[in-house]
């Protein structure tokens, strides 16, 4: 009897479901031309992202639509024939409005009607608007003529689509309403392929704009990094001529301040530059998927964006490299200067110890001198006292010659006093040398 094997009894990883579901996240929306797509991207993260999600949930509820699941980062609803696709990313959220109008009479590029405009305005947003795109899908084979009518020829970029008979065109300029306009001319793509193409084109424009956010950060940091680099050279020149602990300590403090300023700027820009690299890689990946060749000698999207984006990305990369290089040089200079300060401190300590040793030697000599004088003085008094005793004994009838007895007693008294004084000094020295004994 055959029996299927299931996973009962296995301990499943808590993130297994989320990892497997990621493959199917943000699926393509099947589209049929003609269709107008509006995309808005708002920068928000942390509390702003939570507020944005809550507003979208309230919007769905007010229109009788299902709300996204608690952990969902993507949700799509349809309101009065208009599809709204919400996606939440790490630092931004996108709202994509899809307005299909099959069989409708021709109208201006990106025109959506008053009702659709009112619906879009009724969705409150959190965060700052960064991306605003009007994308029009037209079922036509005369892509070149249509693109030349809509866009400025000096900035027009056109590319044939790799996956089938379609062309994408844009001049990547904002129109009077502030939108970047994109034209997709579909000449036979299936709804699935057309939906995939539109989503990738929208991602190119979204991530292109996000990638360029690193350029203002790099330009803002440039004056500070230039100043730090110049000042580092000046400090190194001063360090070569510097003499004395005070001046070297001053230079070391300045190097530390320069390093702190540089690290503050690097910490603030690290995420921005890293995000720009990641977004730029996504743009390149999407372009590689959709582009199939040029049209009528016009630049492709890849070549057009390479001329516009590559210099900005190189500027960001150069600034990041300069920060890293300056950080290493500042650390090395600080180490050299700190070594010089340590050597000077050691020399000062050596001179101080030498001076202390000299003073100690002088004190010992003085102490020896004083000790000899003390023995003589004490001996003098002891001998004087003994002389009085000897005289008293002689006067009392004892056969004692005071002068002789006193003379004999002098060396004995001095020797005894010297021995006693020496023993007392030795005990004091021994007491001072005992570990843990302090005055």
pLDDT of the residue at 251: 83
Query: Residue 433: which pLDDT band, with cuts at 50, 70 and 90?
Result: low
| Nearest-angstrom CA–CA distance, 81 and 83 | 6
Residue bearing the bigger pLDDT, 9 or 224: 224
pLDDT of the residue at 58: 92
Taken as a whole, the chain contains a residue count of: 439
What is the residue extent of each domain of the chain? 26-191, 214-350, 365-429
Name the one residue in this structure whose structure tokens are 């919400």.
86
| Nearest-angstrom CA–CA distance, 409 and 389 | 12
Q: For residue range 323-339, list pLDDT tens digits in order.
A: 999 999 998 888 887 87
Query: Residue 140: which pLDDT band, with cuts at 50, 70 and 90?
Result: confident
pLDDT of the residue at 197: 93
Asked if pLDDT for residue 422 goes beyond 90, the answer is: no
Residue bearing the bigger pLDDT, 421 or 58: 58
pLDDT of the residue at 82: 92
Residue bearing the bigger pLDDT, 179 or 110: 179
Residue 105, CA atoms < 13 Å, CB-side half-sphere: 1
Instruction: Report the mean per-residue pLDDT for the chain.
Output: 84
Beta strands 128-138 and 180-186, pairing class: parallel
Q: Where are the alpha helices (DSSP H) in 242-300?
A: 245-290
Q: What are phi and psi of 430, to 5 degrees?
A: -65, -40
Q: For residue range 284-331, list pLDDT tens digits in order.
A: 999 999 988 888 888 999 999 888 899 999 999 999 999 999 999 998
Weakest-pLDDT range from 23-32, 94-103, 148-157, 325-334: 23-32
Average pLDDT over residues 266-282: 92
Using DSSP, state whether 106 is helix, strand or coil: coil
Name the one residue in this structure whose structure tokens are 């008094």.
381
Asked if pLDDT for residue 27 goes beyond 90, the answer is: no
| Nearest-angstrom CA–CA distance, 229 and 109 | 51
Average pLDDT over residues 120-127: 86
Q: For residue range 33-71, list pLDDT tens digits in order.
A: 889 999 999 998 778 888 888 999 999 999 999 998 887
Query: With helix as H, strand as E and coil as C, how does 117-171 read?
Result: HHHHHCCCCCCEEEEEEEEEEECCCCHHHHHHHHCCHHHCEEEEECCCCEEEEEC
Beta strands 157-161 and 74-79, pairing class: unpaired
| Nearest-angstrom CA–CA distance, 184 and 169 | 7
Asked if pLDDT for residue 105 goes beyond 60, the answer is: no
Asked if pLDDT for residue 340 goes beyond 60, the answer is: yes
CB atoms within 10 A of CB 215: 18
Average pLDDT over residues 262-283: 92
pLDDT of the residue at 94: 93
Q: For residue range 67-89, list pLDDT tens digits in order.
A: 988 878 889 999 988 999 999 88
Average pLDDT over residues 364-383: 73
Q: For residue range 188-234, list pLDDT tens digits in order.
A: 889 999 999 999 999 999 999 999 999 999 999 999 999 999 998 88
Q: What is the DSSP string of 217-239?
A: HHHHHHHHHHHHHHHHHHHHHHH
> What percent of the chain has pLDDT above 90?
38
Which one, of 239, 74, 207, lies nearest residue 131 by Cα? 207
Which one, of 238, 237, 233, 229, lies nearest residue 265 by Cα? 229
pLDDT of the residue at 438: 47
Tell me: cis bond preceding 34? Omega within 30 of 0 counts: yes
Residue bearing the bigger pLDDT, 311 or 102: 311
pLDDT of the residue at 358: 82
> What's the predicted TM-score (pTM) here?
0.74
């Amino acid at each position: 009897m055959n029996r299927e094997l299931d996973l009962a009894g296995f301990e499943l990883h808590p993130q297994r479901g989320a990892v497997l579901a990621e493959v199917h996240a943000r699926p393509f929306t099947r589209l049929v031309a003609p269709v107008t797509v509006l995309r808005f991207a708002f920068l928000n993260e942390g509390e702003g992202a939570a507020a944005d999600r809550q507003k979208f949930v309230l919007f769905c509820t007010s229109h009788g639509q299902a709300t996204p699941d608690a952990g969902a980062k993507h949700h799509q609803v349809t309101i009065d024939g208009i599809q709204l696709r919400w996606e939440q990313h790490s630092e931004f959220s996108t709202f994509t409005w899809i307005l299909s109008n099959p069989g409708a009479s021709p109208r201006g590029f990106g025109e959506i009607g008053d009702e659709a405009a009112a619906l879009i305005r009724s969705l409150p947003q959190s965060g700052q608007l960064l991306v605003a795109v009007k994308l029009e899908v037209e079922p036509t084979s005369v892509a070149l003529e249509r693109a030349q009518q809509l866009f400025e020829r000096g900035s027009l970029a056109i590319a044939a689509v790799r996956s089938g008979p379609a062309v994408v065109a844009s001049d990547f300029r904002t129109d009077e309403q502030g939108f970047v306009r994109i034209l997709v001319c579909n000449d036979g793509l299936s709804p699935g392929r057309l939906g995939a193409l539109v989503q990738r084109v929208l991602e190119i424009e979204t991530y292109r704009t996000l990638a360029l956010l690193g350029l203002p950060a790099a330009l803002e940091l440039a004056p500070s990094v230039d100043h730090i680099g110049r000042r580092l050279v000046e400090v190194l020149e001063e360090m070569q001529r510097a003499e004395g602990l005070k001046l070297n300590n001053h230079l070391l403090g300045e190097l530390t301040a320069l390093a702190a300023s540089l690290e503050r700027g690097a910490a603030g820009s690290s995420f921005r530059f890293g995000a720009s690299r990641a977004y730029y890689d996504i743009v390149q990946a999407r372009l590689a998927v959709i582009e199939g060749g040029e049209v009528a000698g016009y630049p492709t999207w890849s070549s057009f964006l390479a001329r516009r984006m590559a210099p900005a990305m190189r500027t960001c990369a150069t600034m990041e490299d300069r920060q890293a290089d300056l950080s290493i040089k500042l650390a090395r200079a600080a180490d050299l200067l700190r070594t010089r300060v340590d050597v000077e401190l050691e020399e000062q300590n050596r001179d101080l110890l030498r001076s202390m040793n000299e003073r100690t030697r002088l004190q010992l000599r003085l102490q020896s001198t004083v000790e000899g004088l003390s023995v003589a003085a004490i001996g003098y008094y002891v001998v004087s006292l003994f002389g009085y005793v000897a005289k008293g004994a002689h006067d009392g009838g004892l056969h004692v010659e005071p002068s002789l007895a006193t003379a004999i007693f002098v060396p004995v008294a001095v020797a005894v006093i010297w021995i006693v004084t020496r023993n007392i000094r030795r005990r004091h020295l021994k007491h001072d040398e005992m570990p843990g004994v302090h005055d």
